[in-house]
Amino acid sequence: MPETDVIKQRHSVRNYKPERIEEKTMDLLKEKIAELNSEGRLHLQMIEDAGNTYNKLLNRMMGLGSAPSVIACVGPDDATLEQRIGYYGEKLVLYAQELGLNTCWAGTFNKKNIGAKVSDNERLVISIAIGYGQDNGKPHKSKTADQIMEAGTDRPAWFDKGIEMALLAPTAINQQKFVIRLNPDGTVDFIDKGGVFSQVDLGIVRCHFEIGAERKVGEI
C-alpha cells in the first residue's frame, strides 16, 4: 500500500482491545525499531506490557489505560532529539498501521512506571500507545493549506502534495503550530511556532511532508 494511503487511514486511537500484539507482529516491530534507532541515532524501546504507564487520571479518562503495549521514545539528549523522535517515531507509527495495529502519541504518562532504559546522556521524551484498537479512530479537524504554508502561487506540484500530507500529521492537542516555507531556491524550511511538544510535532510533519513530496528536504 502506498505510504500516502497509510497516512490517510491512520488516526489516533485511545481505546484498545485487551489482546496482546501477536508474536510475529511484535518481532517485525522490534526489527523496525532497531533499523530506525540506527538511522535516527535514537533508543526507541518496545515495552510489550504497558503495565501502569497510563495509570494517570487523564490517561484513564481518555481510555489510554487500555493500551496493552507502549513505545518509549528515548534518545541522546541534544538540540535535535525531539524532532528526530517525531520524524522516526512517525515512521514507526505508519509501519505499525500497515501491520494492522493502532497507535496514539501520548505526552502524558507515568515515566516512573514505563520501564524504559534511559542512560545518563539520554532523555525520555514521549510515549506511543500501541495495540489493537476498539475502532480505527477518526480524522482530526485541520487548518487549511494557506494557514500552514508560505509559498507563491507558482509552486511545484510536489510541494502541494507534501502540504496535503503534512496537514494529516498528528500534533499535540491538534495545535498544528507550524509553517512550511518554500524558498526561491527550492529548499524547504519547517518553522516551529511554539507550543507543547512542538518540536516533536515538527518532526512528524516533516516525515509526512517528505512522503507526500516523494523527496528528502534536508537533514535533522
The domain that contains 169 carries what CATH number? 3.40.109.30
Tell me whether residue 220 is in a domain.
no
pLDDT score, position 219 = 87
CA distance 163 to 179: 10
Q: Which of 102, 131, 160 lies at the terminal end of a domain, its last residue?
A: 131
Tell me whether residue 139 is in a domain.
no
31/68 same-domain check: yes
CA distance 53 to 7: 26
123/180 same-domain check: no
179/126 same-domain check: no
pLDDT score, position 47 = 98
91/156 same-domain check: no
123/179 same-domain check: no
pTM score above 0.85: yes
pLDDT score, position 129 = 98
99/48 same-domain check: yes
Domain of residue 191: give its range.
Answer: 145-213
Tell me whether residue 200 is in a domain.
yes
75/116 same-domain check: yes
For the chain, residues with pLDDT lower than 70 are none
Tell me whether residue 173 is in a domain.
yes
77/151 same-domain check: no
Q: Which of 143, 31, 125, 112 is nearest to 83 (CA)?
A: 125
171/114 same-domain check: no
pLDDT score, position 88 = 98
CA distance 16 to 136: 10
Tell me whether residue 138 is in a domain.
no
Tell me whether residue 140 is in a domain.
no
What CATH number does the domain containing 114 carry?
A: 3.40.109.10
The beta strands (E) that lie in 13-167 are given as 45-47, 69-76, 102-106, 122-131, 149-150
8/95 same-domain check: yes
59/156 same-domain check: no
Q: Which of 101, 131, 161 lies at the terminal end of a domain, its last residue?
A: 131
34/62 same-domain check: yes
Tell me whether residue 49 is in a domain.
yes
Count up the domains in the chain and report the number: 2
